[in-house]
Chains A and B, each alone.
Chain A
Amino acid sequence: MNILHIFTNPYLWASTIAMAVPLAFPAIGGTFSERAGVVNISMEGIMLISAFVSVAFSAYFHNAWLGLLAGVISGILVAYVFAWAAAKMYANQIVLGMAFNIFASGITAYLFNAIYGPEGTPFDTPKLPDVRIPIIDEVPVIGQILSGQNVMVYIMFVLIILSQWFLFKTTIGLRLRAVGENPEAAETAGIDVVKMKYLGVILGGAFSALGGAYLSIGVLNSFSPEMSSGRGYIALAAMIFGKWTPVGSFLASLLFGFATALSYTLQESSISKNIIMMLPYVVTILALIGIGGKSVAPAADGIPYRPKK
């Protein structure tokens, strides 16, 4: 296959965006959480739970939007428990994240088997619609790339801008960041540190849940155990690569999405898809060790904070 032909194919770029979605949502979610000083590696598990809940509700009520809503609520509930354990019980956040991920992988697989059995989710489960954008749709190439994507793609674009604005232009955003940088100072300034941590983690859960729902009722209309397949962890890497900002996280997710899309496109070529699939992980490590600009985490990231009062 001609290499140039691969890169001029709009399908590659369209699928790059599609592949970036389930990374960008949890990456932005992780940004909120870590800006508030809580490292949440359970985004993987939250995605899985939301993916399952979304499908289950979508199938039961025969309404994908209700599925999405239920998925996001499930993400918020799980994140609430995480926030409680991290902010009120001062639990080790990495250990906590491990616990949530193992639990999520077990409970979703268990319930999937218990409810649907070997046949899996019903074939007529509705999925979220794909959307054609009126004018852009007519433009050659650009239309093929930007139009006709799943509705979650466009929701993502809106939320990226809102998130960036919220985090850097609003008072609550400023407070959230202050808690992640210096909780003592923030507390002295009258900010409720615990409340801000809850906010960060819960926003993180909601965003991760959007990513999970996209996997099960956005791209597909079914669930399979372990379908998040490590995206929560890659999202973590994208967040770091994106220097803990929503826009940066999205751009990094695009890079990872590109590698995944490329690995699928190159499947028939002589290069093994497994080698291409390694690339995003290699890129992450390179990014982490400072090639392509150093990333500096919020100063109090991951450290449990005990309020003075």
Chain B
Amino acid sequence: MADLRDMGRQDSGPHGSGRQDFDAVVIGTGAGGAPLLARLAQAGLRVLALEAGEAHPPEAMPTDERAQAGLFWRDERLSAGANPLPFGNNNSGCGVGGSTLHYTAYVPRPQPDDFHLRRTFGVGEDWPLAFSKLEGYFDELEGFLGVSGPATYPWGPPRRQGYAHPPLPLNGAAQLMQRGAEAVGLRTSPAPNAALSRPQEQEGYGLRPACTNRGFCQAGCSVGAKASMDVTFLPLATRHGAEIRAGCFVTDLERRGDRVTGVVYRQGGQERRVRAGAVFLAAGAIETPRLLLRLGLANSSGQVGRNFMAHVGTQLWGQVEEEVRPHKGIPGALISEDTHRPEGADFAGGYLVQSIGVMPVTYASQFARGTGTWGAALTSHMRGYRHTAGINVLGDCLPQPGNFLELSDEPDGRGLPKPRIHFSWGENERRMNAHATRLMTDLWTAAGASGLWTLERSAHVIGTARMGRDPRRSVVRPDGRAHDLENLYISDNSTFPSALSVNPALTIMALSLRTADGFLAARRKGESACDRGALEQT
């Protein structure tokens, strides 16, 4: 089994303690950084990943919510706006594997019409590439990650191949959602989850065992069943010669003209530098724009930090007669996409519905925050925890001028300006939320739940360095390269032009592989990628 703790060896290369040369340096090892790191290493390039967080090997992960605070980005972010977004354990990740260390691994594919909201509804933004450009990558990823899912998936275009493994077992919340959905006439299906229902051999890592239904995915998987990057793409990358340095926080990019020539980072209080043939920025939709804004880079469009989006992610909770013990089983076991484009809806786009498991501390905290309940009312509500079950929606979000990230003038522990993120729902999000709340209330009532309460919430950080063909309106090209720089690529959740009506990780990984393939193709041709108009013609 690969040990990612040893992958941070410092200056062990032929250059000793002097500066080292790499064909490519990848900043961040999450869903956007890890796949392309592996792809470039497999092609024989000399690649280095710099990761601000530490390695968290599965066998050292406690099954405990509070002890897992180290999986999240703890430098403070400022949340402004009418719907201020919580970060930390809600919307961030930090470690070798990024946010995938604690994602719930829910991986439905986007549908083709997700990519052209503007063409359909006249609002939002179209992607500069079509679903068909990513379909092959979805096929590849579902096999490689070992996605468990139903034999036939009821929504979206016909699939060219089935899921790698049969679906994971349904927990109490999923059974209740089946019951309620049947009563209100909503189709459901076992959900695709990037967690194994059967063991799978993983190149560079070894045998990943099947999910033990431990249900603590959001506190990290101690089993290795969940397809986080540390048990999939990162071991593959190191098997093919990539180097991963943990605890390395990137502070600067060295430039000459419109080329990036090196990366400056801090490790254990020391400043270090490496030379880079190309740089792939994959620090996530907050740290990527924060770094670019700080350095004044790649921003001739003025779009860096703009178009910030977060999915409508409202949850509905209730209690039932039966014991649920909602911490057991893969949290998102059941799905419905019947609401992808709901008939007669008064909003653009749509959403999916999922059953959700929940760990006790997370539930208690959300209940206290969401309802403001305290005292005996809080503790008596919590006595019903084992009878608690929830459902959740996840829906599109439109970009708006008032939703953006900026640098504040308050320095953080590293002396760098804290980012301030403005986020407010617009009319479209409010209408979608109202529609979804009505539907979930009917469904949960039909399932026999009472004491219902809703948590209006937004999830996932999206946008802030969007892709497009027009350099005046976007930060990167469809292949991920910055319009303004010859060899700087962005590969993470910040490049999404629209939010899509599904969870983002699968699409981030698909774009990551596509960016690597485009880069390698250009390199093989011996051309600089910037001359390749063809790449922009997706």
A-B complex is real: no
By a beta-carbon cutoff of 8 Å, the part of chain A in contact with chain B is none
